Amino acid sequence: MASSSSPSWPAWRAALARWLLHDDSRQEQGFYEGEGQAQAQHHTQPWWKVMCLTGVDYFSTLGYQPGIAALAAGAVAPLATLVLVLVTLFGALPMYRRVAEQSPHGDGSISMLERLLSYWPSKFLVLSLIGFVATGFIITITLSAADAAAHLAENPLLHTWLGGHEVGITLVLLALLGAVFLKGFKEAIGIAVVLVVSYLGLSLVVIADGLALIAGQPQLAFDWQAALRQSFDTPLALIGAALLVFPKLALGLSGFETGVVVMPLVKGDPGDTEAQPAGRIRNGKKLLTTAALIMSLYLLASSLVTTLLIPAAAFLPEGEANGRALAYLAHEHLGEVFGTLYDVSTIAILWFAGASAMAGLLNIVPRYLPRYGMAPEWSRAHRPLVLVYLLLAVVVTLAFRASVDAQAAAYATGVLAMMTSAAIAVTLSAARQGQNGAKWMFGVISLIFVYTLGVTTLDNPQGLWIALLFVAGILAVSVSSRVGRSFELRVSSVQLDAAAHDLLAQFPIRPLRLVSHHPGRSTTAEYQKQELRVRQMVHLPDEDPFVFLEVEIDDASEFTDVVEVTGLRVGRYGVLRARGSSVPNTIAAVMLHLRGKGAPPQVYMRWTEESPLHLFFDFLIGGRGDVPPLTREILRRAEPDRDRRPIVHVGG
């Protein structure tokens, strides 16, 4: 028998539920929060510090990018990297500077496309893009952890014990990352600054030493040039090869989307407002530009020294430089002590790159899915989401056996899909604003990213299939959640204009009776016919007054909205006209708003004579459906007290 002092299983379960669903993330840096709350909590930081938060993802790719470039391009890797740098500086950077200007509150490029479209097409486009974003961020977590595990296993001091256990090490690193987020994610920017400064500083030492070795041994450069001349007859053929190989290096483009997502953390000017955060936009552009310049220099230099100094065989999957080219040089030329120190710095930033991606994922759900009604209620708390993302990361790690090379295509697909959508968004934005020069420039950039995404997908379609699995999963969860939550009272507030208040003041008798009427047929004869029909159907006495209630649908794809009610007179009839995203929800919300202290209002309706299946989809998609039972069900869920619940009468 259990001790009486021991907590019972239900008590443990309740305590666990409280811990999981208690959402204190809004009080922490790194998670989604409104601009006003960020300022009130002093969560804004100088732009260069926020750059380090995005940099743990962006700059950490130096841990594996040079090795992937050498494996994919061989001796052409430095030239292909130069193409990558040109695309970064003259394509991605101006594109995301425009995103920062038009979406300074952390919504990213997705919100630009959302605004360019409307209704359901806008929602499903956003959901699909979120699927690719989730692919990029989840693979960032798993790929970074896998590369950190490779650095641990290949360290000469640890290889004897850890070699061959990369999968287990990766899972341990993922568990530690999950533990950080389950506990909370405080002081993220401070940690990021330390990691980025130390990693870039140590990488600079490795690269500078490599460049000094190349300068001291000119034969290395001559041999490299000879290898290029032997493989390519003309400079044009060499340039063509670099362009063809460039898509395989797309991993070096990561970080821009994260840079605009964290913009609410960037400190602006004292005079910044919600509508005009000029200082934040300016500093956000500084963040993006500085990060791109730093990364471009490091990418070019690291690709050159690793290609010239490391034997080609060492880049192969079983080679010592695979996924850790700079670390290989650190051990080879600067000694085991410095090499181990560099390993520690690399492992730390790679592991924390997963933290940056996790924070990005935790931004996505509260920004979009809840207001679409396409996320379960528990998704408002960050801990259940952390567990979901961690489970996905474990599945991906086991599926790819913690291989950096195997995950590269899926990662590139997610990153390139995000950047392609951003390029298209800024192109359409420039076109709508009549900026022809910008339209053509961003149009060319869009074609470059479409080409790069297409080549990457054709070369390794596995990345696209993984991204489509994420898209399908998000669509399935979102649609099922929307269906399950459709019977909620989806109205944030009801606002009556002065005419509506004056009209209701003329009907002081309680209960207030409302007669549902289809909008558009607004003649006195039509209202007279509807009155006769209703009084006959539900035996409403001739002496009982009522008000007609009409509902117009504005955007049925929205989940929550503000219902605006206007009042008017048509002959001797009083009419309330309401606008909302769903007829049943709007009627229920208006009735609950009008019930006051007396008897609750009553509404009179007719049965619908269409197919139940058609009505079901009409409710989900068009916001109408079989209005009487749906209204009653929404009221039942919104008001459990039957004595205070408005009444629905149906006849015909």
Question: Where does the pLDDT of residue 18 fall: very low under 50, low under 70, confident under 90, or very high at 90 and above?
Answer: low
Which tokens sit at 166? Answer: 């990369």
Average pLDDT, the chain: 82
Summarised one tens digit per residue, pLDDT across range 438-450 is: 899 999 999 988 9
Q: 489: which strand partners? A: none
Work out the average pLDDT over 547-555.
88
Work out the average pLDDT over 105-127.
79
Task: Please give the C-alpha separations between residue 270 and each of 37, 263, 267, 275, 458, in angstroms, as whole numbers.
Answer: 15, 16, 9, 14, 50
Does residue 511 have a cis bond before it (omega within 30 degrees)?
yes
Q: CA-to-CA distance for 33 and 36, rounded, in angstroms?
A: 8
Q: Are 502 and 617 in contact (CB under 8 A)?
A: no
Q: How far is CA 10 from the centre of its chain?
A: 35
Q: CA-to-CA distance for 345 and 205, rounded, in angstroms?
A: 13
Q: CA-to-CA distance for 3 and 7, rounded, in angstroms?
A: 9
Weakest mean pLDDT among 20-34, 301-315, 607-621:
20-34
Summarised one tens digit per residue, pLDDT across range 178-224 is: 887 777 666 677 888 999 999 999 999 999 999 999 999 989 888 88
Question: Where does the pLDDT of residue 533 fall: very low under 50, low under 70, confident under 90, or very high at 90 and above?
Answer: confident
Weakest mean pLDDT among 49-63, 69-83, 355-369:
355-369
Q: Are 446 and 454 in contact (CB under 8 A)?
A: no
Which tokens sit at 200? Answer: 């870039």
Q: CA-to-CA distance for 548 and 567, rounded, in angstroms?
A: 10
Question: Where does the pLDDT of residue 28 fall: very low under 50, low under 70, confident under 90, or very high at 90 and above?
Answer: very low
Q: Say which residue, 206 or 254, is predicted with more confidence.
A: 206
Task: Please give the C-alpha separations between residue 95 and each of 87, 104, 193, 244, 257, in angstroms, as whole numbers.
Answer: 11, 14, 26, 23, 11
Beta 602-606 vs 647-651: how paired, if at all? parallel
Dihedral of alpha carbons 140, 145, 146, 150, sign:
positive
Q: Are 159 and 176 in contact (CB under 8 A)?
A: no
Q: Which residues contact 538 (CB under 8 A, 6 or more apart)?
A: 604, 649, 650, 651
Summarised one tens digit per residue, pLDDT across range 491-504 is: 888 889 999 998 88
Work out the average pLDDT over 598-604.
86
The pTM of the full predicted model, rounded to 2 decimals, is 0.76
For residue 379, what pLDDT is reported?
65
Which tokens sit at 194? Answer: 């330390």
For residue 32, what pLDDT is reported?
42
Q: Say which residue, 318 or 625, is predicted with more confidence.
A: 625
